[in-house]
Structure formats: structure tokens, C-alpha cells
Chains A and B, each alone.
Chain A
Amino acid sequence: MLRIIDQYAFANRLRAVDPLQKTALAGLTILLCLALDRPLVGWLALGWMMAVTVWYAQVPLRVAGAVIGAESAFLALSVIGIAISVGNEPPATALWAIPFGPLWLSATGGSLQTALHVLSRALGSAAALNFLILTTPLIDLIELLRRLRAPALLIELMALSYRALFVLLDTLDQMVTAQTARLGYASWRATLRSSALLGSRLFIVAYQRSQALEVALTARGFAGELRVLPLSYTVDRQLWLIGVMIAASLVAARWWS
């Protein structure tokens, strides 16, 4: 999933748009979802952000859908805890109740409403965040943090971690292939052993790579700070307009509901 998200973050139609603009749109939507606090606002934000991601940024629906689907599955697990109560006897206001051994599982109108409320807010916010991650590579977000004068150490750690992540993923793939070719995952016992060896070996490789990277940085004059040229971006006026429309419709939905 990580590689797929990264791939579309680099390949979508809004790739060259200033990350500040995309972050502002996602941030505003999340803020409105939380501040306006109505289920309709959350559902509307979900619809808008999916539409902008798929229609405007041209991220395939199956990708945007898969990401929001995975998040929905996690959210559903949390929301079930809000919607369903467990007790010795069902409450008088229960819409439905089923016995579960000596206990009763039940749901009331209020609990279902609260669950839906939470779900709508969370999904609306998640869709806004998905828009950001599916249209903006992490290097652009790191660049944004640099422009916003975030601490240099934080930025450098993020940049190096992001780069190291993919190098280690490639190494991991190669190691797994090499282990698989030698029947490393042929049984549960072998899988456990191979996984343990993989973890320890990966740690050593990561350490060795960090040493080599230090040599390479030193050879290029590293003096304690990773100084690089800024990236350049465009401003998308239409996206501003879409942002205004989204904000206006969310506010209108709040008063209407």
C-alpha cells in the first residue's frame, strides 16, 4: 500500500501544485468537519474529497477507494464499540438486543446515532487526509515544513527516513526472495526462523548503509546540515475555487441539518 500511495503521489495531476495549497485545502476540510460537528458535514466532506481526489487529481477510483476502504475497516471496529453495548440485561430503549451467553448485546437509537456521527466525522477527515497523501509526495511535505521553518533536525530526519525506507524495502524484498528460494518459508517453523533472521539481518544492513551514507555525505562536503535547493511548484487557481465551494457547502450543510 505504501508503494502504491507513493506512486500515485508522484503521478497524479496535482503533483506540481504547491503543497501549501493542497495542505490548506485538506486542513480546512478537516477543521470544518470537526468544528461544524454534524454527520451531514462529514458525509459531504467525504464525497467532496473523494471527488477532488479521483476527478480532479485523477487518482484512480480503485486506489482512492482501497485507501478509504482500509481506513473504514479500522474505523468500523472502533465504531462498533460505540454502537453496541454489552450488559447483563438490555436497556429499555434498545432498538435491538441479542443474548450472548449470560450477557446481552444491544444498540439504542442514541448509540447508533453517536456511532454514525463519529464515523462521518472520521471518514470526512480521513478522506481529506487521503487527498493530501495521494496527491502530495512526502518530499513535498518535507519541503513545506522547511518553508514553514520547522526545526532542521526534524526535517533532515524525515528526509533520511523516507529515503532509507525505500532502500530497506528493496533490501527486504531481495532477502525474502533469497530465503524463499532456499525454502525459508516452506513451513511455519521455517517461516518463524526466517522472519527472525530477516529482522536481525535487516538491522545490520541498515547500520552498514548508514555508515556508507555518512561516507558519501562527507565526500560531498557535509558539514552537519543537509542543505538542498528548494523545489518549485505551481499555484492552481481552480483548486482554490474548489476549496471555497467545499467550505461554503460544508457550512451550508451545518445550518441546513
Chain B
Amino acid sequence: MTALLALEAVSYQFPGNPNPALQAASLPIAAGQRIVVLGRNGAGKSTLLLVASGIIRPQQGRVWLHGAPVDYSRSGLRRLRQHVGLVMQSPDDQLFSASVWQDMSFGPLNLGLSAAAARQAVLDAAAMCDVTDLLDRPTHALSGGQKARVALAGVLAMRPQCLLVDEATAGLDLWARQQVVRVFDRLVAEGGTVVLATHDLALARRWADLVVVLHEGRIVAVAPPAAVWAEPALRALIAPPEAWEGL
């Protein structure tokens, strides 16, 4: 079966940094999966998501979308972004408009949808993320949890098949986190895929179908959570022993 999105031996090194952020990383991403990316700070989680979303072009290797290599021309990237959405770690970095309604309409209009279709996409995404009552609110008057859900809704309004989420649940209280996870579940139930980079081990254990372990830019394991949890060497790469207690 052709993967929805696939990374094939991709490498990337940021200018001025002696260590590669990503080294020969390969990862097939199928439809309908819950994938969690684990690793220490600087392991390459964010870079992996940036490469997968086409924001940065790998210096080596390829990214495949529906079995075809990603074309980095304007139209090729537009096609990629129709299918792959990226949610940033800090919603304040993502929400550019002072109006929730206008911010959410940005992505659909960029995909070339008509105003009526964009309006419907915004309303659907707002309903999915439970932010319909926030549509006429200014973004700067929202709480942290509301901002996170609006940022997520802004990406979901583009109706991506694959959602890449960069630690977007960090800093949220348990209720807000649960609301966001519920949105991920709905997306997966509708056939979508969520790739979540996080440090939340409990969430990874409970929620993921597949865990990707990154260490110093290399993917060292792609396995179900139970298999990762059972392997002390992998656990040592992710978090100190105390963090695993009770998980």
C-alpha cells in the first residue's frame, strides 16, 4: 500500500550548526494512524515535521506524497499543503490576524477555495475544534487553551489528510489537552493521520498506534508504544528513569 506521506533517508543540517538536525531519516506515514514522535530537546523532532511539511527542503533524501516525490515548486508545495497541515508549538507564532474568523479563513483561501467554500471550511473546522463561539473574538483576548484550539482549527480548515503537530499540547491544562486530543481522534476516525511531537509520555503510551524515537537526528525506532516501553535502551534515549515510573 502506498504511504500517504513518506520520508526517505532525509538529512538536514542548519547553517552554522556542526551537528546535523536530521540524518538519513526514513519514515512511512499511512492513513488513519496516530503517530507520536519522542526524543530529547534537540533530537530533531521539529526538523522532522518541518521537512515533512515542506517548510524546509532536505539536503539529502526525498519526501514522498501519495507515492510521488514532493515537487518544491509553488504548485507542488500547494499540493503538499492541501494534504499535510502543520500546527506550531506556540499558537502566538501561528495566529497572525487579530480576528479568529479571518485567521481561520487564511489557509482555505490560499488553497484557492471560493469565499463560500472557505466560509464553510472555517465553520466546519470551528465546530470540530469547539471554537464556534470564539469566531468573532479577537485572538489576543483568548486564553492559552482557546488559542491552541483556534490555531489547530486554522490548520484543519484546510482539511489536511495528515496533521503534523509540534508539541502543541505543551503548556495546556489537562482539560484543554483532552479537548485537543479529542480533535485528533476525530480526525483519525475520519481517515486522517496525526503525527504528534511531544514530551508527554503518558499521552504517547495511551494514545499512539506508533512511536517514533529520535536521537541526535536519527530515527532509532518506529514501533508500537508497548514495544518501546519494553526496551530499556530506547527508554534511556527518551527520558530519565524517574519519568517512566507509573507508566
Residues of A bordering B, CB below 8 Å: 6-7, 10, 137-139, 159-160, 162-163, 166-167, 170, 209, 212-213, 215-223, 226-229, 231
Contacts and interface: CB of A to CB of B under 8 A. Distances in A.
Given A166-B140, A209-B92, A226-B106, A218 B55 contact: yes
B127 interface: no
Contacts of A216: 86, 88, 93-94, 96
A93 to B, nearest CB: 55
A166 B138 CA distance: 11
Given A166-B140, A212-B88, A217 B101 contact: no
Contacts of A160: 96
Given A137-B138, A219-B86, A220-B81, A229 B93 contact: no
A223 B86 CA distance: 16
26 contacts: A6-B140, A7-B141, A163-B96, A163-B97, A170-B92, A209-B92, A212-B88, A212-B90, A213-B93, A216-B86, A216-B94, A216-B96, A217-B96, A218-B55, A219-B53, A219-B85, A220-B85, A220-B155, A221-B110, A221-B111, A226-B96, A226-B97, A228-B97, A228-B105, A229-B101, A229-B115
B92 A139 contact: no
Of all A-B residue pairs in the complex, the 10 with the closest CB atoms, nearest first, are: A221-B110, A166-B140, A212-B93, A229-B105, A228-B102, A219-B86, A220-B107, A216-B94, A227-B109, A139-B98
A184 B101 CA distance: 40
B99 interface: yes
B224 to A, nearest CB: 29
Interface of B: 50, 53, 55, 74, 77-78, 81, 85-86, 88, 90, 92-99, 101-103, 105-107, 109-111, 115, 118-119, 122, 137-141, 154-155, 158
Contact of B101 (A159, A226, A227, A231): A231
Contacts of A166: 98, 140
B103 A228 contact: yes
A162 B98 CA distance: 7
Contacts of B106: 217, 220, 222, 226-228
Contacts of A170: 92, 140
Contact of A139 (B85, B88, B90, B99): B99
B94 A213 contact: yes
Given A166-B140, A167-B140, A229-B102, A139 B97 contact: yes
